[in-house]
Structures are given as structure tokens and as C-alpha cells.
């Protein structure tokens, strides 16, 4: 099962808000980045897990807001 499906099943509220943010950004924010941003808004204690498993091939995070928090 894909990560997106697991996220929708395990955290529907976060997924719904992330979907709304990604859609409102008109393609400037991926669902994955929006989901992480939404998750951290409600659960700041998840910050240590934010980067785990979400690095691109060049080891950069695809969320510009996240890069500024490092």
C-alpha cells in the first residue's frame, strides 16, 4: 500500500487538510509536503521524524518552509 493511502486511513483529518492545502497551492506544494506541514501544525512533537524517509535523491527536502526550519 502506498504512503498516501496509509495516511488517509490512519489520519483522515490531517490528510483532508493536507489535500486542501496542496489543492489551494495550485501545484506549488505536493500532497506529501502539505501532509508533513499539516501534521507538524497539530503535532509539533513529531519534528524529529519529519525528515525521516522524505529525502530526495539529492538529500534535499522538497518543502521550502521545512528547509528554513532546519
* Cell numbers that stand for 65 in this block: 518552509
Range of the domain at 49: 3-69
Q: For the chain, how many structural domains are there in total?
A: 1
pLDDT recorded at residue 42: 87
* pLDDT tens-digit series, residues 9-51: 888 998 999 999 999 998 888 888 888 888 888 888 877 776 6
CB 39 within 8 A of CB 65: no
pLDDT recorded at residue 21: 92
pLDDT recorded at residue 2: 79
pLDDT recorded at residue 20: 94
Name the strand (E) or helix (H) holding 13: helix 12-24
Task: Report how far residue 35's alpha carbon sits from residue 8's, in angstroms, rounded to the nearest whole number.
Answer: 10
pLDDT at 60 over 50: no
Amino acid at each position: 500500500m502506498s504512503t498516501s493511502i496509509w495516511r488517509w486511513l490512519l489520519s483522515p483529518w490531517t490528510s483532508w487538510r493536507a489535500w486542501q492545502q496542496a489543492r489551494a497551492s495550485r501545484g506549488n506544494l505536493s500532497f506529501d509536503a502539505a501532509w508533513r506541514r499539516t501534521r507538524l501544525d497539530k503535532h509539533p512533537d513529531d519534528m524529529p521524524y519529519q525528515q525521516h524517509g522524505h529525502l530526495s535523491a539529492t538529500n534535499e527536502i522538497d518543502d521550502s518552509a521545512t528547509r528554513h526550519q532546519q
